[in-house]
């Protein structure tokens, strides 16, 4: 018969994490707080000092991904967080390049400032035009967003072609975005597309390199919203 007793030689067994440490007894409502405590401690142990003005954004990206590389690869234009807060307080919209990113944004919090989160990727007119022109839906989505009559914060976590289209419209004098979160993930044109904004005048939060994703784009938006 199998031994189902939870003791060995009279000593209670300890629940272990996959890393060989005792599991923590953390109340559900305290899990996020404890996660951030662990992140802060591990950053300190690694000798990594984050900019105080932007550390809460970087830590939320690490929290979302469990990837400490964001402490090195996430870049902010001067005063980026303050500018994003100013736009949100003014009722700016957030436009994403995926419905996944859209679903992750705290829309109730954004709405409390008069803003709305949007994604046009699945719109029939966007799909039709992209097919007819032989371009990506992300590019057409950016053109559609540029026609909104409100300030827009672009949260790009998937499609480098969205960043490329925004930059093209800037170069052509058609449209200048108020703010760009550029964190698309992948391999084709991803690194280059992000770097288009690093030396420009548009306020940005950019993650250098291949890493990123819709979850990271949403995490950045929420980090700022929660810090308002």
**Cα–Cα distance list, 87 to 31, 37, 52, 180 (Å):** 31, 30, 21, 12
223 to 56, 105, 126, 167, 227: CA distances (angstroms) = 7, 10, 30, 25, 6
Active-site choice (63, 107, 109, 208): 63
Q: Which DSSP string corresponds to 55-87?
A: HHHHHHHHHHH--TTHHHHEEE-TTHHHHHHHH
Q: Are 176 and 153 in contact (CB under 8 A)?
A: no
Rounded Cα gap, residues 11 and 137, in angstroms: 61
Residue 63: active-site member: yes
By annotation, the residues acting in catalysis are 63
């Amino acid at each position: 018969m199998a031994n189902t007793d939870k003791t060995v030689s009279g000593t209670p067994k300890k629940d272990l994490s996959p890393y060989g440490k005792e599991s923590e007894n953390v109340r559900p409502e305290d899990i996020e707080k404890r996660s951030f405590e662990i992140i802060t401690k591990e950053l300190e142990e690694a000798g990594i000092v984050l900019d105080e003005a932007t550390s809460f954004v970087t830590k939320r990206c690490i929290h979302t991904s469990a990837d400490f590389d964001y402490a090195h690869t996430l870049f902010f234009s001067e005063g980026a967080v303050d500018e994003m807060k100013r736009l949100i307080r003014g009722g700016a919209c957030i436009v994403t390049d995926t419905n996944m990113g859209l679903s992750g944004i705290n829309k109730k919090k954004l709405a409390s400032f008069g803003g709305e989160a949007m994604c046009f990727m699945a719109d029939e007119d966007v799909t039709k035009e992209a097919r007819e022109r032989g371009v990506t839906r992300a590019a057409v989505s950016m053109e559609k967003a540029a026609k909104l009559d409100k300030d827009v914060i672009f949260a790009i976590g998937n499609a480098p072609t969205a960043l490329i289209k925004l930059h093209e419209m800037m170069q052509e004098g058609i449209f200048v975005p108020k703010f760009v979160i550029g964190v698309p993930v992948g391999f084709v044109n991803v690194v280059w597309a992000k770097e288009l904004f690093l030396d420009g005048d548009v306020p940005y939060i950019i993650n250098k390199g291949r890493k990123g994703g819709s979850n990271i784009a949403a995490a950045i938006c929420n980090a700022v919203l929660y810090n308002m």
